Amino acid sequence: MMSPLALRHAIRSGQHRGTTTGYSSGYLQGNLAIIPAQHAHDFLAFCLKNPKSCPLIGMSEPGSPYIPELGLDLDIRTDLAGYRVFRGSDNYQTVTDLHAVWRDDLVTFVLGCSFSFEAAITSAGVPVRHIEANRNVPMYVTNIATTPAGVFHGPLVVSMRSFTPSDAIRAILYSDRYRLAHGAPVHLGDPSAIGIADIMTPDFGDAPIMADGDIPVFWACGVTPQMAIRNARPDLAITHEPGLMLVTDMLAEAAEFSVHTQAA
C-alpha cells in the first residue's frame, strides 16, 4: 500500500498513470472540477443542491493550485494521472499536466469519490470485482436529472458494483457511513429503470465483471459535474479522466466521523 503522498509523487513523476481504485486504502479520494472564478458561485450552488453526486470536500482560492487542508505537498496541476481540458465545447484534450493551461482566475473544486468507501467494503470481506481484476469501475449516464444551478445542469452519472444479494446488503450499509463519498446507492437492480440500455457498455470506465446471480448496485458518481460543465460550456474548464482521482491525506473514517458529528 502506498501512502497518498507517495502515490501523488508517483503520479507527478509519471510512474503511475492508471486508475487509483484500490490505492491508498482508507484515504479519501476526490473528483476534480476546475472552472473560471466568474462561474464559481453557480458551481458551488450546483454542488450544494446535489450533495449526493457532488459532495464537496475542498475548494481553492482563485488561481491557487493548492488546497493545503487536503494534503501535504499537493499540487492540483500535476497530481492526477489524467485531466480533460474543455474549451467552450463538448470536445476536450487529455493532458497529464496543467502547467500549460493554468490561469490566475481558475477555482478548483474537489468532490468526494466512491473509491473511498471501497476499503471498508473489502475490509469486511465483501469482494469488489473490478478491484480484484485491477480494472476501472464502470460508470453510466442515467435518465435522472440533477437539480440545476445557474448555467450548470445535466444528468446524474452513476458508478456500478455488482454483488451477491447478501453482499449487496452489506455494501449498502457500509457505504452509507461515508456521506462525503456519495453514501448509500441511488439504485439497485434493473439498469433500464434509470436509462441504462446496456450494462455491459458503460459510458466511462471498464466493462463490468458480473458473476452469476449478482445484483448491480449503482452509486451517484463524481463524473456528474463533468456533464454539467459540458452543458454550461465555460471558455475553459478542467476535469479528471474518469477513474483517475486526486488522492488526499484525509482519512475516509475521519470524513465519516465529521459528517455524523455534524448531523448529530
Per-residue pLDDT of the chain (264 residues; tens, 9 = 90+): 789 999 999 999 999 998 888 788 889 999 999 999 999 999 999 999 999 999 999 999 999 999 999 999 999 999 999 999 999 998 999 999 999 999 999 999 999 988 778 878 888 889 899 888 888 899 999 999 999 999 999 999 999 999 999 999 999 999 998 888 889 999 999 999 999 999 999 999 999 999 999 999 999 998 899 899 989 999 999 999 988 999 999 988 765 544 433 333
CB neighbour list of residue 244: distance below 8 Å, 6 or more residues apart = 18, 19, 20, 80, 81, 82
- Beta-carbon count within 10 A of 10 CB: 16
Helix count and strand count (H, E) for the chain: 7, 11
Which amino acid would we find at residue 257? F
Read off the pTM: 0.88
Write the secondary structure of 56-95 as one string of H (helix), E (strand) and C (coil).
EEEECCCCCCCCHHHCCCCCCCCCCCCEEEECCCCCEEEE
Structural contact between residues 115 and 183, judged by C-beta atoms closer than 8 angstroms: no
Beta carbons of 196 and 204 less than 8 angstroms apart: no
Domain range for 29 is 4-263
Contacts 24+ apart (CB under 8 A), 101-105: 101/236, 101/238, 102/65, 102/77, 103/36, 103/63, 103/236, 104/62, 104/63, 105/36, 105/37, 105/38, 105/62, 105/63
Eight-state DSSP code of residue 203: S
DSSP 37: G
Task: Give residues with Cβ within 8 angstroms of 117, minimum separation 6.
Answer: 174, 175, 177, 178, 181, 182, 252
Beta strand pairing call for 237-240 and 27-36: antiparallel
CATH code (residue 28): 3.30.2040.10
What is the tally of structural domains in the chain? Answer: 1
